[in-house]
Chain A
Amino acid sequence: MIATHGLTKHYGKVKALRDVTMEVRRGEVYGLLGPNGSGKTTTIRLLLGLLKPTAGRAEVAGFACWKDSLEVRRYVSYLPGELRLYGHMTGFGILKFLSDLRGGAGIDRAVAIAESIMKLDLRRKVRTFSTGMKQKLALSQAFADPVDILILDEPTSALDPSARQDVLNLVIDARKAGQTVIFSGHVLSEVEQVADRVAIMRKGRLMHVEDMHARRNLRMLLVKFVGAIPETFPEELELGVRERNGDTVLMEHRGDAPALLAWLGTQPVADLAIGTEDLKSLYDQYHGPDVKDDQDEVNGK
């Protein structure tokens, strides 16, 4: 549905995006993670045709993002990260204006979402809205647009906890309805909750793409052996060693649980702990305090 190939964007000497190749599949929620300045918004603006790539190309629904930007935006609804609405308009006026820019489509649904889910009074002038209320208003329109793709740049940044959950539910509903969603954000738990795959960006590079379904099957095993740790592990168990420390080993396991337990029963195990790993651990591999500034890797897929 969305593909980039060697996508690069420089602003003078600043390399905002470097050789990013990624693919977003139809109907999936694709999380974009990274700190400020990592290239998330630049990627999104390149996808919308607001920026011209320095090198590489980007396509949405088969259309080149720069050359056929208008066609691309017929397929896409976008929630900007830095939202500015027209203060002189009422809430309804904004929804009407935005839907008029799409030929009048989606206004009824937008009003329904704004009033019943977001609990907004659409008769009020937008200048009297709080930041969160403005974000809810724009989100109502984004989720109401009859489009195949939603691009949400930090959609929950100004929202209270209950509204955040409402937005995540709307994202899940959008996926059920077959929409493709790009969800950029800083709150890892939210991205973890809704994303099918997550891309981690750093300094304009795509560092890693994680399949969240596989990750939800991931078990972390901390095993203390009696005596030495075995040199090798049976391949069919799909065990990976993360860290060895004396007679203790930290392993990740994505395979069949009964087979793992059966194998452990045959081993000289002194102690055992089985748990899961959240997205933060993965994120910290690229952005944690131990990561050196010059650490760059090639694109993940």
Chain B
Amino acid sequence: MTPLFALVRKQLVESRWLLGISAVALFGLIWLFVFATNRMENMGRARGDEFAQMRRQAMSRGIGGASADGSSTSLEIMWWRHPFVVLIIAMWPIARGSAAVGGELEKGSLDLVLSRPISRNTFLTAQVLTAFIGIAILAGAMVGGILVGNRFNFIEAPPSLMKILFPCLNVMAFAVAIFGYAFFFSSMDIVRWRPNLVASTLTLAMFIANIIANVPVLENWKWLEKVSIFTAYDPVESALRAARLPLNVEILGGIGLAGLILGYVAFNLRDLPANS
């Protein structure tokens, strides 16, 4: 077994509970939201008036963003912006990012690994690969949740797999961005709690900034959109038109990549003291 694979396997085994529970929770939540979509559509059909259609549109825009049009696809995908879903998606990259260096140093296990002929870059690459595998699994759980939900619930015009894969790409880029900055903070630290706290606070702050920026009566705060990664997290738009998807993925991927590059540089230049 190559050293890189051995490290990735060890980290996946170590974090299997967080990853497993997050994936199951996402799968279950998304399935539940498909059921909720089914109920909303049923209610709309039962009333059959224009008001029901408007309410459906308003709700999908309220949660899913300005691109939402009240279609089955937008109703299903809008839930991907629900705080519960965002929280679960964000937990994994923050946990893995903050554990990457600070966590290993704090535990004292970094000594054991880096006393072997493992380059610092190989060590970090194993951390990044682990995080990316986890992100792919979480995104897969969301896709699975919709597909399975659609099998068991009647949806007027369920999205095709392709339409689900676009927002899935957006979700993955979003998680990569969060992992990027958490990883960077961790690469400079000697404990896990601090990068964890900083990355969590930053993510929460950007979430709030995005909400404030989109409150209609707070026009003067619209600029906050520009400092929030949540602006580039628009799964409904990705599913319906995907016009902004390439730019959104570039922005989120760019943030993630910048974090990774800075993290690699910082880790290669720093001292690695004995565990704190």
Contact = CB atoms under 8 A, between A and B. Distances in A.
Interface string B112-145: 1111111110000000000000000000000000
A74 B117 contact: yes
B156 interface: no
Interface stretch (A24-32, A84-92, A179-187, A278-286): A84-92
Looking at chain B, what size class is its interface with the partner chain? 20 to 34
B273 A51 contact: yes
Which of A73, A80, A103, A138 has the most chain B CB atoms closer than 10 A to its own CB?
A: A80
B119 A70 contact: yes
Interface string A81-110: 111111011000000011011111000000
Contact of A50 (B3, B116, B272): B272
B42 interface: no
Contacts of A103: 2-3
B274 A45 contact: yes
A82 B109 contact: no
A11 B3 CA distance: 32
Contacts of A45: 272-274
Given A84-B111, A86-B109, A101-B117, A51 B6 contact: no
A20 interface: no
Contacts, number: 79
Interface string B245-269: 0000000000000000000000001
A76 to B, nearest CB: 8
Contacts of B2: 100, 103
A48 B115 contact: yes
Contacts of B113: 101
Contact of B111 (A50, A69, A70, A74): A50
Given A82-B275, A84-B107, A98 B13 contact: no
A84 B14 contact: no
Contacts of B117: 70, 73-74, 101-102
Interface in A27-51: 41, 45, 48, 50-51
Given A73-B117, A101-B3, A102-B117, A84 B274 contact: no
Interface of B: 1-3, 5-7, 10, 13-14, 107-109, 111-120, 269, 271-275
18 contacts: A45-B274, A50-B272, A51-B272, A52-B271, A69-B120, A80-B115, A83-B112, A84-B109, A97-B10, A98-B116, A100-B1, A100-B3, A100-B5, A101-B113, A101-B116, A101-B118, A102-B3, A104-B1
